[in-house]
Chains A and B, each alone.
Chain A
Amino acid sequence: MLKTDHVLDAKGLQCPMPIVKTKKKIAELNPGEVLEVLATDKGSKADIKAWAENSGHQYIGTIEEDGVLKHYLRKASREETKEEIKYETVIDNETLKEKLAAKEEMTIIDVREKAEYAFGHIPSAISIPFGELEARIAELKKEDDIYVVCRTGNRSDLACRTLQNAGFQKVTNVVPGMSSWDGEIEKNY
């Protein structure tokens, strides 16, 4: 079971109801929150994906379980659309891949939401959604080499600054991040 902020039950509903309901529901969410849509309409997979891409929300993925389609969407957040990376220590995807191949000792933190992480993450990455970072900061060691990754480099930028303010010295932001990651990935759902 994936933990999400909101669930919409659209089981049994036919086209166009799943997207009509999804549109209504997502308007209630805060930017960056994840919505799980339960549907039985077979066309909803293509429809929800197309709808999300058209409306600027992020389509994370779909799981099929006992004839029920579970679609995961993340509401678009305004700050992510503008590319504003402030934290200076960055590394690109390629260099991180080389470091992984060389088996360098490091900690990779994936600050995306749980559902995004589940649909594909770097195998050794630990999931700490950005919203939980401050509460879970004790799990990290200040002397470790920490690489922070998200989808596009924005949330990880914020996370890097949070860690820096908490006294972490060796923190690097991975840009752009998972949106163009072509290295090894692991899925768990």
Chain B
Amino acid sequence: MAEKKKTNIILFSGDYDKAMAAFIIANGAAAYDHDVTVFATFWGLNAFRKENQVPVKKGFLESMFGRMMPRGADKMGLSKMNFAGIGPKLIKKVIKKHNATPLPELIEMAKEQEVNLVACTMTMDLLGLQKEELIDGLQYAGVATYLTEAEEGQVNLFI
């Protein structure tokens, strides 16, 4: 059998809509039999946050960041028409109405399809996020890991 193709997606954005696009592509590519990796960095890491508060020791700045950023994929805002949180409620209604798949389920499905979910450790430090606060099943890595995958990737996206 021919070598599997690779899709690599950098999820930089912490917006619900952009993350949704990233995970639709990730799931589609997995169905296409690609080796798929989603690298979450900066605000994209919030997609991998657990919903509940996890007691971890943090400095003042890191705690502030932790409080101000969305806890998990479902809490993320929209890149357009957020309207102080009303936008996401509306879009979730529309998603339901059209029977599309909401973001948390897309992430679950990606895990089921063995998509590699990678969290960038450098930005985790910057935003004060610790492993305990992120969902299970993640890998932790940096730029070299991304480049190794990207070099062999047929599809490379930055979202």
- Which A residues form the contact surface with B (CB < 8 A)? 12-17, 19-20, 22-23, 51, 54-55
What is the number of residues of chain B that contact chain A, defined by CB distance less than 8 Å? Answer: 14
A20 touches B99 (CB 8 A): no
A12 touches B99 (CB 8 A): yes
B31 touches A14 (CB 8 A): no
In the assembled complex, which residues on chain A have CB atoms less than 8 Å from the CB atom of B28? 15-16, 19-20
A68 to chain B, nearest CB (A): 14
- Complex CA gap A20/B99 in Å reads 15
In the assembled complex, which residues on chain B have CB atoms less than 8 Å from the CB atom of A22? 31
A55 touches B32 (CB 8 A): yes
B32 touches A14 (CB 8 A): no
Q: Which of B31, B99, B100 has the most CB of A within 10 A?
A: B31
In the assembled complex, which residues on chain A have CB atoms less than 8 Å from the CB atom of B33? 23, 54-55
Q: Which 3 A-B pairs have the closest CB atoms?
A: A16-B28, A23-B31, A14-B100
A20 touches B98 (CB 8 A): no
Sampled A-B contacts (25; CB under 8 Å): A13-B99, A14-B98, A14-B99, A14-B100, A15-B24, A15-B28, A16-B24, A16-B27, A16-B101, A19-B28, A19-B31, A19-B32, A20-B27, A20-B28, A20-B30, A20-B31, A20-B109, A20-B113, A22-B31, A23-B30, A23-B31, A23-B33, A51-B31, A51-B32, A54-B33
- Complex CA gap A23/B112 in Å reads 13
A35 to chain B, nearest CB (A): 14
A69 to chain B, nearest CB (A): 15
B31 touches A16 (CB 8 A): yes
Among A14, A23, A54, A55, contact of B101 (Cβ-Cβ < 8 Å) = A14
Q: Mark B14-32, 1 if CB is under 8 A from A, else 0.
A: 0000000000110110111
A38 to chain B, nearest CB (A): 14
- Complex CA gap A55/B34 in Å reads 10
In the assembled complex, which residues on chain A have CB atoms less than 8 Å from the CB atom of B100? 14-15
Given contacts A15-B24, A23-B30, A54-B33, 8 further A-B contacts (CB under 8 A): A12-B99, A14-B100, A16-B27, A17-B101, A19-B28, A19-B32, A22-B31, A51-B32
